Structure 1
Amino acid sequence: MSFLYEIMGDYGEFEEVIEGEGSENPVSENGEVVSRVKLPGKGEFIGKVVQRYGGNRMEILCTDGKSRNCRVPGRFKRKMWLRPGDIVIIEPWPDNDDKGEIIFQYYSAGVNQLRKKGLLDGLNKEF
């Protein structure tokens, strides 16, 4: 949340100052906006949505080379609108490695960062 207020500058005129604006998006030396991207944790994989089956189930091609039947948990049903080609983080079920749950969806900025880090090399290059 930023607040707008005016202060008197060095030469007597008023300047607008927006608090909190510079700290939200830090800029690197190259002029690029620095943003952090969520990485998969222990036991999680990055995957690509291949096909939607219906009933909140989808076929996901993972970076470990397996194709899993994953579902969207109820708490994410309205938040995640997934299409074929989207990049997600999945968590395989402990008892069945062929199934899993989708726990995070990447947007275009996150996908570009993952591509720069080389984390999407295990998937097809077509996206």
Structure 2
Amino acid sequence: MPKKEQPTPVREVVKPSEGEVICVVKKMLGAEHIVVLCVDGKQRTARIPGRMRKKVWIREGDVVLVAPWDFQSDKGDITYRYMNDELKRLIEEKVVTRDIIDQLRG
């Protein structure tokens, strides 16, 4: 009896919540620090938290979700890295526009 192929479940795309900003990785600084350009127009130094360090590999040009620090708004923590298909869904759902991402990637 042949197995029925089950459609892969469509996961919910992580959207920026209150206090989070979509950013593009500009430069890797080393020691888990990177420079990101954010949709709100600011350039921040972001930190890759320990829970992501060896599990999620981040490169220049990747689109990430950053939670800016309350006490230093020019710094923040990376909370999520978007895959290409998730980025397409964000654009389809009009969370962010393709123009802004392309402009930030430069």
Unaligned residue ranges in structure 2 (runs of 5+): none
Greater relative contact order (Cα < 8 A, sep 6+): 2
Residue 65 of structure 2: which of 83, 89, 102 is its match?
A: 89
For structure 1, list consecutive stretches of 5 or more residues without a partner in the other structure: 1-5, 7-15, 26-33
Matches within 5 A, 1:15-94: 16-18=2-4, 21-22=6-7, 24-25=8-9, 35-94=11-70
Structure 1 110/57 Cα, relative in aligned 2: closer, same or farther at 3 Å?
same
Q: CA RMSD in A?
A: 2.0
Inter-partner Cα distance in structure 2 for 1:125 and 1:82? 16
Q: TM-score, normalised by structure 1?
A: 0.71
TM-score computed with the length of structure 2 as normaliser: 0.84
Question: 1:126–1:75: structure 2 CA closer, same or farther, 3 Å change rule?
Answer: closer
Aligned length: 103
- Residue by residue, what CA displacement relative to the aligned partner does 1:96-120 show, whole Å, maximum 9, x if unpaired? 0000000100011011112223414
The alpha-carbon distance between structure 1 residues 48 and 125, as it changes in their structure 2 partners (threshold 3 A), is closer
Take 2:65 and 2:45, find their aligned partners in 1: how far apart are those partners? 13
